[in-house]
Chain A
């Protein structure tokens, strides 16, 4: 079953065409890695999928579970089961993590007609996830990402991923700014999410993340198009040769 089908996607940011015809299909149970040089459109693709304001789809289709996403608001995409782990998670002082996470899960459940988690169930779940991701329980009381280290912010993204249980997770350079230990924790979290029902789109610059989260397919995005696709060995080849040879 296909979770995501992107067909001929062209998208602009600030009037500039960045994605120039992306075709990509992610089936349930698959992990796809998107690699590519700076400016190739990796983060733009993630933003367009999640519906970030200011990113304009000029042409093409994004089908998620068979439904066209392009006219849906970000929250509607989330309700359908799409999740974007931010490259730069936003700090929101004054809104506690607990308040934020509860609002997120309550709204997801309400939109899907599912019963709400009681506060006790919610706290238990969040504490358990915080423990798995080595986040102090105190983090729940702090403002969203407020004063968090880079590693804590990324672990908080993964905590949200595990709490909200989407069908497709788009991880935008989740490995950036992580030391080796934090990378391990984050990778374990992502691997714990991985199942036959959901999919992962993993955007990264570096092969090292793929040692921990092994992809089924690796794509190289170059100048707004998928220039090459292959199995995990493609990532190793890129690590060895760089991106320049693809343009030849």
Chain B
């Protein structure tokens, strides 16, 4: 990773942070409804892994904490915000919401709201890639708590059995909603759990983007080389509650402080400053540019966009004008 890459990633991660913080404000203002699961604290995971892959070319699928993964794959942040604002211009035309961001054009195959639900879908996408013979891989980002679902075991078994090109990335933020991992999970180290399926795996510091990138590069290379699935566990932390409806009362101040001292953005920023690549003033200018962009471009687009039409309520339920429904295209 060269200096230019690091500076770019610093900007991307800071944008992700400010984007999510602005979502928080919009939620409090009731501009965003439903459930809202935010990503601050975990930015190095999505950015480090996807920088080591080919976003827009490789297929990516994830859970309901999905805004940043979509944007990193190439989704227009304005359309992601418009989706949160439930607008017709939203990435899912206002039908999906925060938990269901999709941008199939950039091969972001969606956010799904059943914990562990994307495991088999990711594995199936990998099956299709293998059938078609392309060099793409599928990357599945899920939290640690998803590994207690049956879909985890069922999918790992099939992925290994059939040698499918899928990289499972476990963003281990130590909590399944409000339950700490040692109270829900018999084996704390998630990367060890896949050894039962003979799948190679690694555990890495998810707060240091350079370490994430390096570990992800190895993982991506393994999968792209046709050697079958790989499982990468990244140790991370979310600053906000599980969702906006979470009081976040189950964590100690000491624990939160410890993790905020290992903030992925601050760590990279300080490293770049110490090496003389940027100044504190540069960082401040960048931050202000990002804040302006989010306000003047992203939020303004979402605010000014139209809502979906009520007379199109039933659209997208089933395929339209599909001749095979009536038994004939011939």
Chains A and B come from one and the same complex: no
Residues of A within 8 A of B (CB): none
Q: Mark B residues whose CB is within 8 Å of A.
A: none
